Structure 1
Amino acid sequence: MEIQSLDLREQRCPMALLMAKRACATLGQGEQIALYVSDSGALKDIPRYLNSNGFDFEQQIVHGVTVFCVTKL
């Protein structure tokens, strides 16, 4: 199974958060998505959203970009 990805590096909060929410809402149980984020507001808001809405995630830095690897529980 290929992991979906969403590049939010050009988006600023609140648009980055809104787009992340929409993408995560499409996931079925056990499905994954990688969110590429650079905005400082989104780097705070996206993990808060994920923690409070039934998602498991890992945060990594890849080539200077923050990547949230999200799994729907």
Structure 2
Amino acid sequence: MEIQSLDLREHRCPMALLMAKRACATLGQGEQIALYVLDSGTVKDIPRYLNGNGFDFEQSVVSGATVFYVTKL
């Protein structure tokens, strides 16, 4: 199964965080999504949200963008 992705590179916080929350809320258990972000505020806020809301994630940098690979637990 292909991993969904959401490109938030053109958005800043709080809109990028709200869009990420909505996308993550649609995931079923074990499903994944890749979130691409550039905004420094969003890079800090997304992990805080994920840690407190039943998600596991890995973070990496790809072509200058931070990518969160998110899995719903």
TM interval, short-chain normalised: over 0.9
Q: Which runs of 5+ in 2 are unaligned?
A: none
Q: CA deviation at 1:25?
A: 0.2
- Residue in structure 2 matched with residue 67 of structure 1 by the alignment: 67
RMSD: 0.4
Structure 1, unmatched stretches of 5+, are none
Runs ≥4 residues deviating over 4 A: none
SS state of the match for residue 53, structure 1?
A: coil
Partner secondary structure for residue 33 of structure 1: strand
Match of 2:6 in 1: 6
Using the alignment, how far apart are the partners of 1:36 and 1:65 within structure 2? 6
Aligned equivalents of 2:42, 2:6: Cα separation in 1: 14
The C-alpha deviation readout for 1:22-67, integer Å capped at 9, x for no partner, is 0000000000000000001100101100000000000000111100
- 2-side partners of 1:39 and 1:47: how far apart? 13
Letter in 2 for 1:64: G
**Partner residue, 2:26:** 26
1:37 & 1:64 partners in 2: Cα distance? 9
Query: How many corresponding residue pairs?
Result: 73
Amino acid at match of 1:40: S
